[in-house]
């Protein structure tokens, strides 16, 4: 029932950009809200996508837009809105070939690989749109923009896009172009998984016999962990392969809300409780650009400690120039 109510409100409620709570506001590279509070609705996504097209035209980005979505209930209708505007502007949209969920890292790798094959001044640079509110509760939706470098957009880009989107909302959507979606398909999963061993020594992990557990927390990595385990013959167990718009399998966060926050000991409680089953286990947020690490001996790691050790290792083993 929650998905029906959210999706109905997504199309029916019309935001008023003179009300601060209903304006487009980009936070960490994206806009988030709920259709039930008129902060994430069809007009928001139409306006944001048109503003993104206007921005990329201004920057001279003429390649395809790689489009991904997570498992939140609002992500599917929002993707339809994105594809309508991209089609209306004759922008090539790349969507998952299996009509499945797409982690942000898979979109990023697709953008980077495309752009490595074209000249920077060719006008053929690709970028991306990912429909996700990250770890936010089930009733929320989100959308973010990844420029040609593949990572999150900076505040100059998001500020421009947000301002332009609010102008479109205030104008009654004048200037928003829509058409029947006509995306091209792209095998995000195979493209990502098959080149993972170029950046990670997966043979060493396999031969070590380390026992790994991975919990997608109901998010977009749900198909990816099993594919990684199968291809590289890892001792890796996908702990929960469920996808549920209500995320009813999640333990409640500190304030009693459901969040797929892999840095929270409350949201990661099930992994922590079963930590002895694996040497290392991990959980992802809904678009899989964040992770939490749980070890058998100490439980949930401080992410800054893990990142510091990872950075030290990479700089010491990859011969990176300073």
Q: How far is CA 235 from CA 214, 225, 229, 238, 277, in A?
A: 11, 11, 7, 10, 12
Active site annotation includes 134: yes
How far does Cα 151 stand from its chain's mean position? 11
Extended strands (E) in the chain: 30-34, 65-69, 93-96, 127-131, 140-146, 184-186, 212-215, 236-238, 280-284, 291-295, 299-300
CA dihedral 76, 136, 9, 127 (to 10 degrees): -40
Structure tokens at 311: 């950075």
Among the listed residues 39, 75, 134, 263, the single catalytic one is 134
Q: Three-class SS of residue 94?
A: strand
Neighbouring CB atoms inside 10 A of 230's CB total 11
CB 222 within 8 Å of CB 213: no
Strand partners, 69: 131
Q: How far is CA 68 from CA 83, 92, 116, 124, 188, in A?
A: 11, 14, 20, 20, 9
> Quick one: which of 133, 160, 134 has its CA closest to 147?
160
Rg (CA), the chain: 20
Place of tokens 């752009």: 115
Active site residues: 134
């Amino acid at each position: 029932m929650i998905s029906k109510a959210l999706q109905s409100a997504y199309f029916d409620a019309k935001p008023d950009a003179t009300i601060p709570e209903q304006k487009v506001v980009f936070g960490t590279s994206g806009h988030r809200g709920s259709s039930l509070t008129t902060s994430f609705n069809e007009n928001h996504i139409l306006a944001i996508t048109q503003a993104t097209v206007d921005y990329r035209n201004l920057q001279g980005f003429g390649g395809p837009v790689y489009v991904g979505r997570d498992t939140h209930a609002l992500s599917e209708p929002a993707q339809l809105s994105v594809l309508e505007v991209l089609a209306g502007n004759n922008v090539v949209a790349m969507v998952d070939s299996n009509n499945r969920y797409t982690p942000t890292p898979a979109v990023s790798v697709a953008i980077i690989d495309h752009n490595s094959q074209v000249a920077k001044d060719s006008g053929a640079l690709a970028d991306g749109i990912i429909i996700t509110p990250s770890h936010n509760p089930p009733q929320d939706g989100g959308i973010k923009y990844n420029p040609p470098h593949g990572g999150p957009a900076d505040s100059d880009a998001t500020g421009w896009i947000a301002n332009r989107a609010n102008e479109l909302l205030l104008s009654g959507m004048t200037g928003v172009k829509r058409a029947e979606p006509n995306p091209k398909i792209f095998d995000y999963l195979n493209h990502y998984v098959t080149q993972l061993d170029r950046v990670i020594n997966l043979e060493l992990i396999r031969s070590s016999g380390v026992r790994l557990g991975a919990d997608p927390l109901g998010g977009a990595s749900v198909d990816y962990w099993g594919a990684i385990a199968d291809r590289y013959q890892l001792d890796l167990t996908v702990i929960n392969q469920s996808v549920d718009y209500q995320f009813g399998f999640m333990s409640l966060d500190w304030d009693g809300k459901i969040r797929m926050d892999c840095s929270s000991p409350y949201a990661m409680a099930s992994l922590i409780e079963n930590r002895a089953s694996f040497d290392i286990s991990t959980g992802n947020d809904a678009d899989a650009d964040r992770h939490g690490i749980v070890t058998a001996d100490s439980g949930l790691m401080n992410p800054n400690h893990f990142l510091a050790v990872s950075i030290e290792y990479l700089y010491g083993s990859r011969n990176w120039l300073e």
